[in-house]
Amino acid sequence: MPKLIITDRSGKKSEIEYDSNFTLMETLRDNGYDIEASCGGCCACATCHVYIDEKWTNKLKNMDDDEESMLDQAFDVKKNSRLSCQIELSGELDGLEIEIAPE
Amino acid sequence: MTDKTDVVIIGAGPVGLFAVFELGLLNIKCHLVDNLDKVGGQCAELYPEKPIYDIPSRPVVTGQELTDELIKQINPFKPKFHLNQQVEKIAKTEYGWIVETNIGTKVEAKCIVVAAGAGSFVPRKPPIENIENFENKNVFYAIRDKSIFKNKKILIAGGGDSALDWTNELSKDSNVTLIHRRKEFRAAPDSVSKMQELETKGKIKFLKGQIKKISKIQDSRIMLEYENDDEKSNIEVDYLLPFFGLKMELGPIAEWGLNLHENLIKVDTEKFQTSTPSIFAIGDINWYPGKLKLILSGFHESALMAQEVFKYCFPDKKNIFRYTTSSKELQKKLGV
């Protein structure tokens, strides 16, 4: 199974296996990470905000306008900010490193 | 003055609205309270334009269309809405319950139905250290009295409708600066072009960046530090108005002594009653084994809840189960 490397809000790193049928948000939520995702994944809030490790930013599909404009409601937005509900986990992302953004 | 009714429904989202229908068929009258300025809950606030595909018999319906149709469907029952307010306290009375909101509305009812979804919508506050010490003095998340801003220096933060609308409005009598992380805005195109016109004319200023620090300086002014691509700058103003949309939180409901399961209200699956008799919970706010947070589950829960509420409202009457398709009496209530 492909893996993700996750840094949580306390700075702790952990590794989890993922199933490529799920989005990054769903994977984080179902593995018990503290991610609110209050709209349930329809890109209508900004509570599943993550930072993508610089090595990986180019390997993800580009953000659409919806996601970019939803990020306006997030804080501490950086160049590598994404909403995890919009990231579909394909097999090619094996080893993806992400950090959960502050609340 | 205290209003009297049969049921107070907390939350006017799709499930709260449909509860009015199911209760109405049983002659039970309802008041609804919601913290938003409109009905429809998340459907109207978060995703009015987004499609929903899993409402029975509606292959596709948007959040706003669903809300509009529900309002139409419950209209015969004349529910009373108390919007822009949050239920703060509930207390037991001889009649049933008295429900009091944060702006002092009081309604007495036989039963309470909590249909609060993921909780109340409240402003999303930027995570700036000590910002709470400046709230309601230098920092406002909503504007009730715009006259206090006259001739003052104001920093508005955000890129949505509230940020742009208030930038345009307050620029008439105040020195306004708008700060946003990028030069694109999600607000309505009309407001955006108006803001850009004001900026060209020098009536407002625009800064690119995100606010990181707040501190007090003399004459009750505040200093804000903001960052743009790691470059730090400062701006001194009288007021900061952050508009970063709304988020949901459970709020006062958590303090009413109802048994909870991870911030959700535990109910039984026959009556959808909470651990406190005559208080019910339906929709996304409740929990029972197998619970699915679907609008259609909330609709089902409404119908079953209504059967039990009937017993509290009319203890001496027999509830005869009838269909709207065939019952003349129900059709009369619906005005069809």
As averages over each run of 10 residues, the pLDDT of chain B (336 residues) reads 95 98 98 96 91 96 97 98 96 97 97 96 93 95 92 97 96 97 94 97 96 92 94 97 91 94 95 98 97 97 98 96 95 95
Characterize the bridge pairing of strands B80-82 and B30-33: parallel
Residue showing tokens 């319950």: B97
B203 to chain A, any CB pair closer than 8 A? The answer is: no
**B126 to chain A: nearest residue by CA?**
A75
* pLDDT at residue A90 in the model: 86
Q: CB-side exposure of B122: number of CA atoms within 13 Å?
A: 12
pLDDT tens figures, B234-263: 999 999 999 998 888 899 999 999 999 988
Angle formed at CA B178 by CA B235 and CA A51, multiple of 5 degrees: 90
Tally A–B CB contacts below 8 A. 48
Compute the distance between CA of residue B119 and CA of residue B60 in angstroms, rounded to an integer: 26
Compute the distance between CA of residue B232 and CA of residue A74 in angstroms, rounded to an integer: 19
Report chain B residues whose CB lies below 8 A from the CB of A47.
247
Provide DSSP, A20-77. TTSBHHHHHHHTT-----TT-SSS-S-TTEEEE-TTTGGGSPPP-HHHHHHGGGSSS-
* pLDDT at residue B247 in the model: 87
B20, containing H or E segment: helix B14-25
Measure B325 CA to nearest chain A CA, in Å. 36
Measure A93 CA to nearest chain B CA, in Å. 27
**B294 to chain A: nearest residue by CA?**
A40
* pLDDT at residue A39 in the model: 85
* pLDDT at residue B222 in the model: 97
Measure B137 CA to nearest chain A CA, in Å. 22
Q: Which whole-number Å values give the CA distances from A73 to A23, A70, B103, B152, in the listed order?
A: 21, 6, 28, 26
pLDDT tens figures, B62-88: 999 999 999 999 999 999 999 999 999
Tell me which amino acid residue A42 is.
Answer: C
Q: Is B306 exposed, middle or buried (0-12, 13-18, 19+ CB in 10 A)?
A: buried
Provide DSSP, B161-184. HHHHHHHHHHTTTSEEEEEESSS-
Compute the distance between CA of residue B230 and CA of residue B227 in angstroms, rounded to an integer: 6
Compute the distance between CA of residue B45 and CA of residue B64 in angstroms, rounded to an integer: 9
Report chain A residues whose CB lies below 8 A from the CB of B50.
42, 44
pLDDT tens figures, A34-82: 998 988 888 888 999 999 999 999 999 999 999 999 999 999 999 999 9
- Cβ separation of A75 and B47 shorter than 8 Å? no
Measure B6 CA to nearest chain A CA, in Å. 32
How many other C-beta atoms lie within 10 A of the C-beta of residue B233?
A: 11
Compute the distance between CA of residue B224 and CA of residue B130 in angstroms, rounded to an integer: 12
List, in order of start, the domains of chain B with CATH numbers: 2-122+247-334 (3.50.50.60), 125-244 (3.50.50.60)
Instruction: Enumerate residues 64 to 103 of chain B having a beta carbon within 8 A of any beta carbon in chain A.
Output: none
- Cβ separation of B47 and A40 shorter than 8 Å? no
Compute the distance between CA of residue B282 and CA of residue B273 in angstroms, rounded to an integer: 9
ipTM value for the complex: 0.85
- Cβ separation of A38 and B247 shorter than 8 Å? yes
* pLDDT at residue A74 in the model: 94
Does pTM surpass 0.80?
A: yes
Residues of A with CB under 8 A from a CB of B: 38-40, 42, 44-47, 68-73, 75-77, 102-103
B188 to chain A, any CB pair closer than 8 A? The answer is: no
User: Is the CB of residue B223 less than 8 Å from the CB of residue B217?
Assistant: yes
List, in order of start, the domains of chain A with CATH numbers: 3-100 (3.10.20.30)
How many other C-beta atoms lie within 10 A of the C-beta of residue B169?
A: 16
Measure A29 CA to nearest chain B CA, in Å. 14
* pLDDT at residue B91 in the model: 97
* pLDDT at residue B84 in the model: 94
B294: closest CA among B117, B41, B85, B122?
Answer: B117
**B158 to chain A: nearest residue by CA?**
A72
How confident is the prediction for chain A on average, in pLDDT? 94
Compute the distance between CA of residue B317 and CA of residue B309 in angstroms, rounded to an integer: 12
